[in-house]
Amino acid sequence: MAAWARAVRGLLLDVSGVLYDSGGDGGVPIAGSVEAVRRVKASGLKLRFCTNETQATREKFVKKLQGMGFDISVDEVTAPAPAACRILKERSLRPHLLVHNDLVPEFAEIDKANPNCVVIGDAAENFTYANLNEAFRVLIGMEKPVLISLGRGRYYKETDGLKLDVGAYMKALEYACDVQAEVVGKPAKMFFESALAEMGVPPQQAIMIGDDIVNDVGGAQRCGMRALQVRTGKYRPCDENHPHVKPDAYVNNLAEAVDVILQQL
């Protein structure tokens, strides 16, 4: 039996690319993933859905997944926007938002007048030259610019192909303003530690399952977790020769990973 599957009390699941492939039609579940989630819940294992999704509020995002047949609720989701809001409140920061229109409601209780920082997420069609330049002007006008990014993914997969993610635009602002972004989504250590705390499971008893070799697998391993890479979503064969990150195992999909883990219980 697989050594990586032993002594597991909690699972952290990436969402896009592991549970479903997103797209303009709302997305399609990956074969076997709906049943795999159901089996994990029936097993008694602790479960968190860990997403860098920043194109919708958690409520809207969860409703979409429920519509695909997934057993998921808002309080089971660890996402970047709520973490960013905590930071903004703690540090009395007033953000200029460069985010998707559907994510704006997550920041409803945050003071956005006279911005003293920029928050960037996956803004999709809002990543116009004018909008990027406006964010640049806010940052470059500060004595000590503060750039908070809701992730640093390079790309993600939708049903019609790969799409540029927030990391590419974050890097442009970093370069132009000579600033280092504070990342609050994956692969930030704080993100994974928050998910583990919400489950009440130590890192050595948890497994992260993701399709992103750097943000999912590498980020989780740096927190002391085991991490698996699925061959779905944004996975590409060259990931298996990554120079720095070596998953504890590769699995064809979430269903295969769950099969092995549940056999060990």
What CATH number has the domain bearing residue 130? Answer: 3.40.50.1000
Tell me the DSSP string of 50-93: E----SS-HHHHHHHHHHTT----GGGEE-HHHHHHHHHHHTT-
Q: Among residues of the chain, what percentage have pLDDT more than 70?
A: 99
In a domain, 26, yes or no: no
pLDDT-derived band at 161 (thresholds 50, 70, 90) equals: confident
**Tens of pLDDT, residues 51-78:** 998 999 999 999 999 999 999 999 999 9
Stated as kind and residue range, the H or E segment containing 155 is strand 155-158
Q: Among residues of the chain, what percentage have pLDDT more than 90?
A: 88
In a domain, 4, yes or no: no
In a domain, 1, yes or no: no
In a domain, 237, yes or no: no
- Range list of H helices, 3-150: 33-43, 58-67, 80-90, 129-140
In a domain, 155, yes or no: yes
What is the reported pLDDT for 265?
84
In a domain, 191, yes or no: no
**Tens of pLDDT, residues 181-190:** 999 999 999 8
Question: Domain residues for 168?
Answer: 80-183
In a domain, 106, yes or no: yes
What is the reported pLDDT for 247?
98
**Tens of pLDDT, residues 18-29:** 999 987 667 899
What is the reported pLDDT for 160?
83
DSSP state of 242: -
Burial class (CB in 10 A: 0-12, 13-18, 19+), 191: buried
Number of domains in the chain: 1
In a domain, 111, yes or no: yes
Least Cα distance to 151 among 69, 225, 253, 79 occurs for 79
pTM to 2 decimal places:
0.87
